[in-house]
Copies of this chain bind each other. A is one copy, B any other.
Amino acid sequence: MDSSPTQDPIAELVTNYHELNSSIIEELHEEPSPLEFMRYVARNTPFVVRGAARDWPAMRLWTLDFLKSVMGDQEVNVAVTPYGNADAPTPYTPPNSSSPPTLVFAKPHYELQPFTHFLSRVTAQELAPSKGQEILYSQTQNDNLRSGEFAPLFSLNHVPTQIPWARIALCPKPARDLSSSWGSDYEDEPKLGPDAVNLWIGTSKSVTALHRDNYENVYVQVAGEKHFVLLPPWDAACVNEQPLRPARYRRRENDGKLELVLDKDIGEGDEPVPFATWDPDKPEVSQSAGPEGVCIAVNYW
């Protein structure tokens, strides 16, 4: 290990990688074949397909009024934070302490809200922001669109059940009943498609901290824009990953305002979360709202 001719082999790897690879993201104008997709997977490189979802019914039908008509007052799980900082390194000072703040891993406060109520508040935070407003984000990643709270929307077949080129590339054993990517044929063998299909509803007030995911991610923007800053895997060595104590927002009992508490102080485990504490100039993922004041996206992984 210590006999390498270079002083710092990881620094050399990172430098070489950036010298040899373009920082331009490839843009396709039609969907890739499974083999073309696998070439991107093999190189760990991202790509954008312009207009790939142009003909999905969701693109035309999913207005806010339509979403309200489908979901009504059904309760949905909403992440609430003071700054749009869900799952992000955040300075924390213990109560009644004069010591300098330490960085902790801040999880959002989750609460159930009637969908129409959530939608009114989330669009207001974009179109009529107020000082000190809470930032709401529907961001549960537990297959919420396919099998969770948004299943009534999924059942309309306005988005496909799977992405064929990704499924064929990543799932070695195609099933006979996966011939259609639309509709309920799919339900018999869900394990042969994506592990999760998630719906994201938020605004430009939410940002996502630099992080890594364990899945190939096919991310489809329905309304608004998403702005990703992507780092190659090697750069993991450069993001100053630190073990952060877990913390979460909760509502104070006396006035209902958000406060940040350490997990351990509310009886939860205190296992540190390894997390990047160096962020590039821009946050990794940000978004811009569409004309209706909301960002809507569907992702498959």
Contact = CB atoms under 8 A, between A and B. Distances in A.
A274 interface: yes
Contact of A240 (B3, B10, B34): B3
A105 to B, nearest CB: 14
B242 A3 contact: yes
A237 B242 CA distance: 24
Contacts of A4: 237, 241
A39 B237 contact: no
The 6 closest A-B pairs by CB, nearest first: A42-B42, A38-B38, A35-B35, A5-B243, A3-B240, A41-B42
A98 to B, nearest CB: 26
B3 A8 contact: no
Nearest to A33: B35
A242 B2 CA distance: 11
A172 interface: yes
Contacts of A5: 241-243, 274
Contacts of A39: 38, 169, 172
The number of times this chain is found in the oligomer is 2
A189 interface: no
24 contacts: A1-B10, A1-B11, A1-B237, A1-B238, A3-B240, A3-B241, A4-B237, A4-B241, A5-B241, A5-B242, A5-B243, A9-B237, A10-B10, A34-B35, A35-B35, A35-B168, A35-B169, A36-B172, A38-B39, A38-B42, A39-B169, A39-B172, A41-B42, A42-B42
Instruction: Classify the secondary structure of A's interface with B.
Output: helix
A116 B242 CA distance: 66
A237 B13 CA distance: 12
A10 B38 CA distance: 27
Contacts of A242: 3, 5
A17 to B, nearest CB: 14
Contacts of A3: 240-242
Given A10-B10, A39-B172, 7 more contacts: A1-B10, A1-B11, A34-B35, A35-B168, A38-B38, A38-B39, A38-B42
Nearest to A10: B1
